[in-house]
Amino acid sequence: MAQAFLSSFDSTLDVFSAGTNPAEKLNLMAIAVMKEVNINLEGYYPKDVKLYLNEPWDYVITVCNGANEICPMFYGNVKHRLHFGFDDPARVTGNVEYVMGEFRRIRDEIKNKFFSFYENEIKKVQELSQCSCDDK
């Protein structure tokens, strides 16, 4: 969900997502709640973080509670390593209505946190890099 939201805020960003223990396929409830906010997860699939360990990154962001502690070290050039902890909706148990409600709650938390991150960090860095610093 985080990758899809961040990509939706700015199509020029290169955003990748991976997990320490990726599922075989996307969670159907995640697909459903993202569709509710007009984001189609078609083409997305779970990937292992090992694919990206030696790559250079502007940001490496862990998102699931506990992921920050178990995430392997990135050996590539990482400018910023951040942790935004969210409950893992795939671990929620209960009846369908409750689980869907939790998926929606966590989806909205992810959207709000990543929109704030985009507005207050990424967008400002982009604006500074595009600045014609002739005004001295």
User: Which CATH number covers residue 85?
Assistant: 3.40.50.2300
List Cβ neighbours of 93 (8 Å cut-off, separation of 6 or more): 99
Q: Residues 93-104: what's their mean pLDDT? A: 97
d(CA 29, CA 91): 12
With respect to residue 10, please indicate whether it lies within any of the assigned structural domains: yes
Q: What global pTM score does this model have?
A: 0.86
pLDDT in tens, 37-80: 999 999 999 999 889 988 899 999 988 776 555 666 666 689 99
Domain range enclosing 76: 2-116
Judged against a pLDDT cut of 90, whether residue 97 lies above it is answered with yes
Q: Residues 5-22: what's their mean pLDDT? A: 93
Judged against a pLDDT cut of 80, whether residue 135 lies above it is answered with no
- Torsion over CA: 41, 44, 49, 52 (sign): negative
Please name which of 85, 89, 109 lies closest in space to residue 27, comparing C-alpha atoms: 89
With respect to residue 57, please indicate whether it lies within any of the assigned structural domains: yes
Indicate the number of domains in the chain: 1
Exposure of 81 in the CB half-sphere (CA atoms within 13 A): 13
With respect to residue 8, please indicate whether it lies within any of the assigned structural domains: yes
